[in-house]
Amino acid sequence: MVGTLSASDGAVRALRLPVPRGPLSADLVALLTGEPGHAVPEVPDGADPYGDDFQLTLHTCYELHYQGFQEVDPEWEWDPGLLRLRAELERRFRTALRSDVPGGGDVDAELERLLTAPATGGLPGWLSTEGTWWQLREYFVHRSVYHHKEADPVAWVIPRLRGRAKAGLVAIEFDEFGGGRADRIHARLYADLLRGAGLADDYLHYLDIVPAPMLALVDMMSMFGLHRSLRGALVGHFAAVEISSSPASQLLAETLHRFSAHPDCLRFYREHVTADAVHEQVVRREVLGDLLAREPGLAESVVFGIQATDFLESRCAESMLRYWQAGDSSLRATDR
């Protein structure tokens, strides 16, 4: 259980390569400690696109485009062989996602479904009625892999938008990045939440113990952000997050208040209650509205982004609940 974990000392640390979770991630981690240009492993037939080994390998490839690793030559970021490996992982991941969501092109129906979803549903609803403090802390650990990046992959879509869609998305991103104040960057607010809960706040500190369902959600964001062809899916994902965030944040803020949590824990969710209620309107009217007016052919991609986000979020919730309802920790064990 996460109760055995403690807060960091606040020092800024370079990210280390993760502990492998299978043969593919082990081969990649070993490869990245050498010079770029060496032969890159092949993705084995039958690899589970939602499994730990697969998702950690993809996450490690993507991290080279974010903060990188202290042991890794920065030139690996654009190594042709590694990009081919990443492309094959992405192809299989996209294929799996498309087969696991219904698809379609009715964006309005998808938005209506999100808007009419019960406010008490999902994992935040369960935590508000059944959750314990150690389960909330584990939830924070899972979400740390997401919230340490939160707005970063969305920024990649900015040069791929025009007009009101671009202006609206930039306005939201400006809020996500603190409105020009470093202490109000949402990733910083989440780091403060972690410390307030007695957890380590340094970047991706808990990567090794967060299981595949959350890695898949974060990898989906990176995949959508890095591909111009998936700009509609990225905007669909962004819309799904902004529409569902405010009611979920309200539930979590109320839950944390009942536990007399540190003010920094409440601050993060209270910020999202107000900010995301505004963001929801902007993303629906300005970003989605203008994007689809300019490029109506992106409707199916937008729907895919919404549905894939919902699907992967549900997998995360189901995984955590399965362990918690059995009285077990939902986090991975590691020797590191």
> Do residues 164 and 284 both lie within one domain?
yes
Is residue 275 predicted with pLDDT exceeding 80?
no
For 311-336, how does the pLDDT look when each residue is reduced to its tens digit (9 = 90+)? Answer: 999 999 999 999 999 999 999 987 55
pLDDT at 196 over 80: yes
Residue 333 lies in a domain: no
**Band of residue 6 on the pLDDT scale cut at 50, 70, 90:** low
| Average pLDDT taken over every residue of the chain | 93
Would you say residue 9 has pLDDT above 80? Answer: no
Q: Are residues 7 and 85 in the same domain?
A: yes
Q: How high is the pLDDT of residue 325?
A: 95
Which tens digit of pLDDT belongs to each residue from 154-193? Answer: 999 999 999 999 999 999 999 999 999 999 999 999 999 9
> What angle do the packed helices 80-100 and 52-63 form, to 10 degrees?
130
Statement to judge: residues 76 and 121 lie in one domain: no
Give the structural domain span for 46. 2-99
Tell me the pLDDT tens digit for each residue of 16-70.
999 999 999 999 999 999 999 999 999 999 999 999 999 999 999 999 999 999 9
pLDDT at 222 over 90: yes
> Where is the domain boundary, 56, 72, 99?
99
Cα–Cα distance measured from residue 16 to residue 33, given in angstroms and rounded to the nearest whole number: 11
Please check whether residues 198 and 64 belong to one and the same domain: no
Q: Is residue 127 part of a domain?
A: yes
pLDDT number for residue 23:
98
110: tokens are 């998808």
Q: Which two tokens stand for residue 96?
A: 């799996």
In tens, the pLDDT along 111-149 reads: 999 888 776 778 999 999 999 999 999 999 999 999 999
What value does the mean pLDDT take over residues 219-227? 98
Last residue of a domain, one of 99, 124, 154: 99
Of residues 240 and 12, which shows the higher confidence score?
Answer: 240
Instruction: State what percent of residues in the chain have pLDDT above 70.
Output: 95
Asked if pLDDT for residue 11 goes beyond 80, the answer is: no
Given a contact cutoff of 8 angstroms between Cβ atoms, the answer to whether 184 and 113 are in contact is: no
DSSP string, 126-195: HHHHT--HHHHHHHHHHHHHHHTTTTHHHHTTGGG--HHHHHHHHHHHHHHTGGG-GGG-HHHHHHHHHH
188 and 235 assigned to the same domain = yes
Q: How many structural domains comprise the chain? A: 2
| Residue 5: predicted pLDDT | 60
Residue 95 within a domain: yes
How would residue 278 be classed by pLDDT, with cut points 50, 70 and 90? Answer: confident
**112 and 252 within one domain:** yes
Phi-psi sector, 105: left (phi>0), alpha (psi -120 to 50), beta? alpha
pLDDT at 12: 52
Q: What are the pLDDT digits (tens) for 230-267?
A: 999 999 999 999 988 888 999 999 999 999 999 999 99
Task: CATH number of the domain at 268, please.
Answer: 1.20.910.10
